[in-house]
Structure 1
């Protein structure tokens, strides 16, 4: 390339980055969240859905005690405990449901495909994907509702990084009039980096659900579309759809968490974000809430509050057996903590064993990077993560690994993409990205 062309290319890249930064700065100053929109959802009130589930559990428990041979009662109870877990985040509910399902499965000698799928769903929630796969394979052999089994097989193969198998399964279940197919097609498009197509498909699924007026599915689609809009930088749309979710389900902690993230990441409103998270902590005290509080306090340069939040996170993990569910969080934390990097290495290798995806290999590469073993980090990244994922955090890690190995160039720079992903990554990444 001659000097003039090189200069022109560099100027184009520089202007693109400056414009992106200026655009982001401008958007950042736009107020999107308004407390009057959601403050009613921060009032401690009775969760009628949860109260109904609790009443139903009492009812079916009594029925089952009176007739312990009625496995339908046990299956009903397992479903209720799973629903209760979704609302409260209490891991014991998930384990109770698992125990009941395994009991049913043993008594029926593994001959019921529906129970096999229910066990698989439970294991997916626990991040026990290889075990979930085995139960789905058994369900498929049994034959009942094979299409339902194929849909879940797609989900598990995506989690395991078996993308060619997942792609084939998507073809096998293709039906553009089927909501379940559309949301999986959206997931696939997002995986391959076609976010715009993913959103279009999700919007078609939304129209389908709104026509059927299924409240549960509307809640699900609105909250997931809010996520997609956020990833695409459509923050106003994201906020609107979190509010639509809350209008249907006033106790939807996922939507409130999404609004807290907008307040923090887009508006840099630490006080507002922490207020929302403190409410969620009362209703749905799962460990990752404390990690988000730690992240916000880090941005606010409140080291004491950050450490308190991290202490709460580890206390929750110690108090409850979450199994494999927080491996990724722990690996990232330990990788960046002097003295704990060997722990990160062990967890990363375990995650690769459990689910050999780009995300898992990124944990290993990132740990090596933080240990100063740059060549090992690059060897892992080159084989398993570079150009293998569109996740902003993985792209960011890849850029730092390339830089440490003197392999970051104009051609492989993703700085512009990362600038556009600051909302998704969070404001703590902004300065690091700009210094790439």
Structure 2
């Protein structure tokens, strides 16, 4: 059944001014002038750092994130490491850069200083989850427990999703949405609507997902995350690649990130357009080479490089870097998948057995586990997740349908 109808979203594909972007640029000019006139005021630097972070969120331009980092580090030096709020801001910046171990260092410093301790404890949960320190994350969740607190509820939802309780996660997110609606805070509402849309998608509630992406766009017509969600619905659920590409082309002009080209490549693959698919991958690699994204695209690179015979060893190297950065089941899956693609099925199985099988409910990991088990003649009716994978086809995308059916 077709869900994404152009009449619903065509008004969001119009090249109007982005008010948020314009305001952020004006505010940067304002605070920069204030700082230039009074460079003793370190608080102006904090304002500027926040605005550059906002620019990164709006445009996807990585240089804005690095500018924010530089300003925050300068600020931290000015106050001689004595402000917990600045440590948290640096940690937040490093989380965006996927520098989770460094983020943890700054959060530990903030915790010792104690100022607004609860804010630090909430962020510690986030970083522990990213580092695969799930026992510490669970303990942190107990510390911050408050069922009337939006921040707690969205973290509880993340935990429930992690342990495979997706329905519970959605219920908790819906409770958080009630708090956001009552708060009249537009940014909070935007965040919860778009993230709830994601959760509904994971649960194969595609119509609900679509409705909440539209609700997000009603609040902010320049929310490219929600538009990308609708592009995925058009592609994966509706099997309408033309409609999906139209939306992606629009996003590309407003919020260009490398993964957008991988999305395009998938759509072209579905159309059996090999030339355009290869061109999209070339654009992805070109964008990576022109910008320093650090480790932010390691996952994408491992998955992509494993598709090319001359890049498989490079994929393995990057997977090992990810293990060092964040030893989660997701990272170990990249390592197991790399060994599988190099033909070392036994090594792939050992890693999957110890670190991914029964450790994650992510459909992509279940898919890799299935193929690794099969290659080692260890796939049985009891340990197979084929039915679950078929139910997750929307999330995995239509290009994997025949592969899953043939397992």
Q: TM-score range by the shorter chain?
A: over 0.9
**Structure 2 residue corresponding to 1:272, chosen from 229, 232, 243:** 243
Q: Tell me what 1:177 maps to.
A: 148
Q: Distance in 2 between matches of 1:357 and 1:234?
A: 27
Q: Superposition pairs for residues 208-223 of structure 1, below 5 Å?
A: 208-223=179-194
Q: CA shift at 1:31, angstroms?
A: 1.2
Q: Distance in 2 between matches of 1:418 and 1:434?
A: 9
Name the TM-score, length of structure 1 as normaliser. Answer: 0.93
User: What is the aligned partner in structure 2 of residue 77 from structure 1?
Assistant: 48
- Which piece of structure 1 moves more, 123-132 or 66-75? 66-75
- The residue that corresponds to 1:102 in the other structure is 73
1:40-78 CA distances to partner (integer Å, 9 max, x unpaired)?
Answer: 100111001110110000011111111111101111000
Residue in structure 2 matching 1:246, options 189, 197, 217: 217
1:384 aligns with one of 352, 355, 360: 355
Q: Which residue is equivalent to 2:20? A: 49
| CA-to-aligned-CA distance 1:5-57 (integer Å, 9 cap, x gap) | xxxxxxxxxxxxxxxxxxxxxxxxx1111101000100111001110110000
Say whether residues 1:33 and 2:4 are aligned partners: yes
1:168 aligns with 2:148: no
Q: Which residue of 2 aligns with 1:119?
A: 90
Find the residue that maps to 2:357 and give its secondary structure: coil
Shift of 1:117: 0.1
- How much has 1:109 moved relative to structure 2? 1.1
Compare CA radii of gyration and give the structure with the larger one. Answer: 1
Which residue in the other structure is 1:224 paired with?
Answer: 195
Distance 1:208 1:77 in 2: 30
C-alpha distance in structure 2 between counterparts of 1:375 and 1:221, whole Å:
43
TM-score by length of 2: 1.00
The match for 1:144 is 115
Q: Does 1:68 align with 2:36?
A: no
1:189 is displaced (CA, Å) by 0.2
Alpha-carbon distance, 1:266 to partner = 0.3
Aligned to 1:339: 310
Which SS does the other structure have where 2:51 is aligned? helix
CA–CA separation in structure 2 for the residues paired with 1:411 and 1:263: 34
Q: Which residue of 1 aligns with 2:176?
A: 205
CA distance in 2, matches of 1:337, 1:302: 18
- What's the counterpart of residue 4 of structure 1? none
Offset, 1:212:
1.2
Where does structure 2 lack aligned partners over 5 or more consecutive residues? Answer: none
Q: Which residue of 2 aligns with 1:364?
A: 335
Q: Could you say what secondary structure the match of 2:310 adopts?
A: coil
Deviation of the 1:336 alpha carbon: 2.0
3-state SS, counterpart of residue 274 of structure 1: helix
Structure 1's unaligned 5+ residue stretches are 1-29
Provide the rounded CA distance (Å) in 2 between the counterparts of 1:277 and 1:268.
15
Q: State how far apart, in whole Å, the 2-side matches of 1:253 and 1:375 are.
A: 42
Q: Deviations over 1:88-145 (max 9, x none)?
A: 0000000000000000101111000000000000000000000000000000000101
1:206-265 residue CA offsets vs partner (Å, 9 max, x unmatched): 011111111100000000000000110101000000000000000000000000000000
Distance 1:63 1:341 in 2: 52
Let me know the Cα RMSD of the aligned residues. 0.5
- Cα distance between partner residues in 1 of 2:97 and 2:307: 25
Aligned equivalent of 1:411: 382
CA apart distance, 1:170: 0.1
CA distance in 1, matches of 2:261, 2:160: 31
User: For this pair of structures, how many residues does the alignment match?
Assistant: 407
Aligned residue for 2:261? 290
What CA distance in whole angstroms lies between the structure 1 residues aligned with 2:78 and 2:192? 37
Tell me how far apart the structure 1 counterparts of residues 79 and 189 of structure 2 sit (CA, whole Å).
35
Q: Distance in 2 between matches of 1:132 and 1:287?
A: 24
The yes-or-no answer on 1:424 pairing with 2:395 is yes
Write out the 4+ residue segments of structure 1 that deviate beyond 2 Å after TM superposition: none
1:296-339 CA-partner distances (Å, limit 9, x unpaired) = 10111000110110011011101110001000000111122101
- Provide the C-alpha distance between the structure 1 equivalents of 2:13 and 2:210, rounded to a whole number of angstroms: 16
Secondary structure of 2:130's counterpart equals helix
